[in-house]
Amino acid sequence: MSAVLDVDATAGATSVATALRTVVAAEAAATTTIAIVLLGTGVVGGALLKLLNTPAAVSVRLVGAANSRRQQTVAASLANRNLREQLNNSQGDARDNAGLLAALDASGAAVKVIVDATASAPLASRHAEWLGRGYHVVTANKALAGGELPGWRALQAAVVNGGRYGDSATVGAGLPVLSTLRRLRSCGDALLTLEGVFSGSLSWLFNQYDGSRPFSALLSEARKLGYTEPDPRSDLSGEDVARKLLIIARNAGFALGTDEVDVQGLVPEPLRALDTESFLARLEELDEPLAKLHAQAKSRGNVLRFLARLNQRGRARVGLVEVPLTHPAARLYGTDNQFALTTTRYNTQPLVIQGPGAGPEVTAQALLGDVLALA
């Protein structure tokens, strides 16, 4: 690109420098190769908006953003300062996916990406269709890859036909689990068994739970710290862990259905159908059964951990397990996640991937990493 600087002859060096900077910025915008639209401007989407304002994302142009009610689009580039607040204050157009895709088309960018930072199942059900239409999809939303098997199969078919699916943020908030698994498989290695702690909130709860405080008190603290969902049953049910287990298992070649994961959640039956407020008022009902399990484990020198496990026959289980102090999961800290992969080549000792498995910044970074990898 060439440009003629229209600088007033009387202007000083400062004006020339400003004009030059403008030209450089225009050139940068014209050469950016990746246009994205962002679905979801909540905790993770908000963190991604911040990252998009950093030099790491200079090649990425945000041309649309939406929450569940409103959206804004600008084919050139959205100024994303205050965008989240504006959408929350209902500034923008009514939600319409077609408008977002039109902004991607009008961007002229070589690489067009839909970033899904929602937990919406209806949106996830569109991923395969979008891939089929030539867009790439980068997602923190587990509802498709960790949902019903036909959805997973449709996704595989769409990926084979050319679209690329960035799913790093769906498991371990961007810990290199899926990428490592794919790399091993591409070298002919195969997953034999998998075991680990896949939930930051459940990791924290059982790393802390030593019987000195009731489980309900720890749960209230975890909720205040933002480690659990506003309704902690989403964490305690084990369903989110099951979705992550399904995603890893399917990527390892085990085409499991949702009904093939045995999920033993922590919410007693009488508390399952309550509204959130009533559930929170009855948290103490969780205490006695867990105290009993904890005491039994302690009497044998063991601890409790909420584990996801896949064995060699493809049997998948999620639930509370008593493990010895020598077990890798007994030595976790804070909200750490842990993924222990035993493969044909990592056979004597598993390959263990461990670290913060939740948090907006690391999750948003995983999304950005997947976007940049498409260039």
Piece of 5-13, 43-51, 257-265, 319-327 that binds ligand NAP (CB under 6 A):
43-51
For residue 147, CA distances in Å to 72, 118, 177 come to 29, 15, 19
Does 44 bind ligand NAP (CB under 6 A)? Our answer is: yes
67 in Cβ contact with 88 (< 8 Å): yes
Does 238 bind ligand NAP (CB under 6 A)? Our answer is: no
Nearer to ligand NAP, 32 or 227 (CB): 227
Does 242 bind ligand NAP (CB under 6 A)? Our answer is: no
Nearer to ligand NAP, 46 or 350 (CB): 46
Smallest distance from ligand NAP to CB 279, Å = 18
- For this structure, is 50 an active site residue? no
Of 112, 142, 224, 244, the catalytic one is 244
HEC secondary structure over 254-286: CCCCHHHEEECCCCCHHHCCCCHHHHHHCHHHH
Does 248 bind ligand NAP (CB under 6 A)? Our answer is: no
Does 68 bind ligand NAP (CB under 6 A)? Our answer is: yes
Q: For the segment 86-125, give every residue that binds ligand NAP (CB under 6 A).
A: 95, 117-120, 123
CA distance 117 to 103: 18
What's phi and psi for 242, nearest 5 deg? -60, -40
55: left (phi over 0), alpha (psi -120 to 50) or beta: alpha
Does 67 bind ligand NAP (CB under 6 A)? Our answer is: yes
72 in Cβ contact with 97 (< 8 Å): no
Of 115, 134, 151, whose CA–CA distance to 39 is shortest?
Answer: 115
Smallest distance from ligand NAP to CB 95, Å = 6
Tell me the two tokens of residue 368: 């950005």
Question: Which residue lies nearest ligand NAP, judged by its C-beta?
Answer: 42
Which residues are the active-site residues? 244
Contact residues: ligand NAP, CB under 6 A: 39-45, 66-69, 95, 117-120, 123, 140-142, 169, 173, 358-360, 363
